[in-house]
Structure 1
Amino acid sequence: MSNVHAPAHAHATNALPIDEQLVLVTGGGRGLGAAIVKAFFHEGADLVINYRFSADAAEELAEAVRARGGNALAVEADVTDFRSVVAMFDAARAEFGRPVSTVVNNALVDFSFNGDERERADEIAFESLAQQFRGTVGGAMHVIQAAMSGFREIGSGRVINIGTNLFQHPVVPYHDYTAAKAALLSLTRTFAKDLGPLGVRVNMVSGGLLRTTDASSATPESVFDAIAASTPLGRVTTPEEFASAITFFASPASRAVTGQNLVVDNGLVMD
């Protein structure tokens, strides 16, 4: 019997296996984003690799996925520009003939991880925070809102936001970055509440320093060693380990999970 007239919440248990999904990763051309793309490729998903400036890296990654039997499309879009984001989703539908089912909000707009050079609390301007809010919160909002027509068509959807363990362990004065990610956690929970009746699950995965990405490549080995010594497992998390945790939130195994923040840092922070 058709369920075309069923209320929206009747679709809440819909959960596509990852190998039947089309997954969009923002900032997916390099660093952690590339590791996330590869993790979903290994799970059998089709992929949309968003980039802003890293065209060559994104195209090379898409080509590598296709060379190994997968399906991937690299698409340029500035997540702070809603029209650009909508155009990206239109390009994905045109290429794959179906809507995006999972989005990973990984893009980090105009930020440098240089702890020794960051502005301190008594000198940072609000504009620095506003810039990060535009990229982190505004970018995620644009992606989620552009995905909603497809989520409604499918009857479900997955949103996975990337956070930080600096909420709980603010060892570096990244005031603007951390404040924006904290706001993204709040958005994760309010959107989870609002979109749940449509079968859309919204979660966050948070980490700390990763060994090694573009962002952490200049980190002294002594810092990695100190972090490893502070974790119960005696290790620094790799991008691949972090990305593996992200795929859980796109899988049917997480169908009863929404509004949560999973910290993946080998136990450095226990929330």
Structure 2
Amino acid sequence: MTNNERFAGKVVLITGGTSGMGLAAARRLLDEGASVVVTGRDRERLDAAVKELDAAGPDADGRVLAVRGDAASPRDLDALMEAVRERYGRLDAVFANAGVASFGDMSATTEDEFDRVMDANVKGVYFTIQKALPLLSDDASIVINASWTSHRGLPNGSLYSATKAAVQSLARTLAAELGPRGVRVNSVSPGYIDTPMYRGAVADEDAAGIRAQVASRRIGTPEEVAGVVAFLVSADAAYVNGQDLIVDGGLVGAVA
């Protein structure tokens, strides 16, 4: 159940908003009255996401702005912020969600792969927030998409986990730095969530074993993460700052 008025008049930026958790968050916030700005690198996927969002309700059309670009490119981010400035003049929330996966034995990690993942998952998040700062309203909220892998070791996840630990730390640091402005910064750490990234990384024969690790005995949905993001950017979380909220069905904190 949603409250269609909770984000009325608010403007929210969601990077990596063309699928998975980003698209689910865009749908949820749009449904609750926000105007949403979504980004993605692939024009075809971006257009498909906009079509889906525009069809979300009778008043959704006109509250969606799609900007093609790479969150790891400062030049693309400059263009994104200019588009936001021209359309809305401000941002009330940012969900820094864009990122890539990388799993494999550390001994096989190349410098090119290291740079690719660090650029997308750390550099992109850092500069998305930096370049959004002039547009943020004084009571704005930032949510960074981290990961359960920064809380528990995952074999063959050294590079990916390092990037997620970095942005989780960034959320705490920026909460202290931006607190005097009234800007809150938190992170969300999803567990195994049924997204294209998850389906691309997990073989069918491994799915049952993964579910067995989760106390809830199932894989999470993008909509369940979106609900947590909506909470964190809402006034209901006005005194939640510098925190990491794990959304994993009991993967990390419960004994399965």
Q: What is the aligned partner in structure 2 of residue 88 from structure 1?
A: 80
Q: Are the equivalent residues in 2 in contact too, given 1:165–1:269 (CA < 8 A)?
A: yes
- Please, what TM-score do these two structures have when normalized by structure 1? 0.83
Does residue 203 of the first structure (1) align with residue 186 of the second (2)? yes
Match of 1:237 among 173, 195, 220: 220
Cα-to-partner distance string for 1:77-96 (whole Å, 9 max, x where unaligned): 2222223212112112322x
**Following TM superposition, by how much is the alpha carbon of 1:17 offset from its aligned partner in structure 2, in angstroms?**
4.4
| Deviant stretches of 4+, over 6 Å | none
CA RMSD of aligned residues (A): 2.1
Question: Are 2:125 and 1:140 aligned?
Answer: yes
The CA deviation string for residues 147-189 of structure 1, in whole angstroms up to 9 with x for no partner, is 11122xx222111100111122323412211111111111111
Q: Which position in structure 2 is the counterpart of 1:258?
A: 241
Q: Structure 1: how far apart are the matches of 2:115 and 2:244?
A: 23
SS in 1 for 2:206: helix
**Residue type matched to 1:236 in 2?**
I
Distance (Å, rounded) in 2 between the aligned partners of 1:244 and 1:203: 14
For the pair 1:43 / 2:26, whether they are aligned, the reply is: no
Unaligned runs of 5+ in 1: 1-15
- Residue 62 of structure 1 contacts residue 72 of structure 1 at CA under 8 Å; is this kept in 2? yes
Q: Give 1:191's aligned amino acid.
A: L
Distance 1:19 1:234 in 2: 36
Deviation at 1:127, TM superposition (A): 5.0
State the Cα distance separating 1:217 from its structure 2 match.
Answer: 2.1
Q: Where does residue 61 of structure 1 map in the other structure?
A: 49
Contact 1:48 1:72 in 2 (8 A): yes
Say whether residues 1:150 and 2:135 are aligned partners: yes
Which residues of 2 match residues 4-43 of structure 1 at below 5 A?
17-43=6-32
Residue 106 of structure 2: aligned partner: 121
TM-score, length basis structure 2: 0.87
After superposing the two structures, state which structure 1 stretch, 220-229 or 235-244, moved more.
220-229
* The one of 95, 98, 102 aligned to 1:104: 95
Q: State the distance in 2 between where 1:191 and 1:127 align.
A: 29
Whether the aligned pair in 1 keeps the contact of 2:12 and 2:37 (CA below 8 Å) is yes
Whole-angstrom distance in 2 between the partners of 1:129 and 1:61: 29
- Aligned-partner SS, 1:19: coil
Q: 1:234 to 1:132 in 2, by over 3 A?
A: same
Shift in CA distance, 81/221, structure 1 to aligned 2, threshold 3 Å: closer
Q: CA deviation at 1:220?
A: 3.5
Residue type at the aligned position of 1:138: K
Identity, in percent, stands at 30
The amino acid of 1:31's aligned partner reads G
How many residues are paired up?
245
Contact 1:129–1:180, Cα closer than 8 Å, also in 2: no
Unaligned residue ranges in structure 2 (runs of 5+)? none
Q: Give distance in 2, aligned partners of 1:239 and 1:172.
A: 24
CA shift, 1:36, in A, is 1.7
Distance 1:130 1:64 in 2: 33
The question of whether the paired residues in 2 share the 8 Å contact of 1:19 and 1:43 is answered with yes
Task: Render the CA deviation track for 1:197-235: whole Å, top value 9, x for unaligned.
Answer: 011111100112212x11122433443322333322222
Cα separation, 2, equivalents of 1:81 and 1:227: 34
Give, in whole Å, the separation in 2 of the partners of 1:64 and 1:238: 18
Q: Give, as a single letter, the amino acid of the residue that structure 2 aligns with 1:256.
A: Y
Q: Distance in 1 between matches of 2:97 and 2:173?
A: 19
The structure with the larger Rg is 1
Matched position secondary structure for 1:158: strand
Q: Distance in 1 between matches of 2:65 and 2:47?
A: 8
**Equivalent of 2:67 in 72, 75, 80:** 75
Q: Is the 8 A contact 1:89 1:100 kept in 2?
A: no
How far apart are 1:129 and its partner, in Å?
A: 3.2
**Contact 1:63–1:72 (8 Å) recurs in 2:** no
> Is contact 1:136–1:181 with CA below 8 Å preserved after alignment?
yes
> What is the Cα deviation at residue 32 of structure 1?
2.3
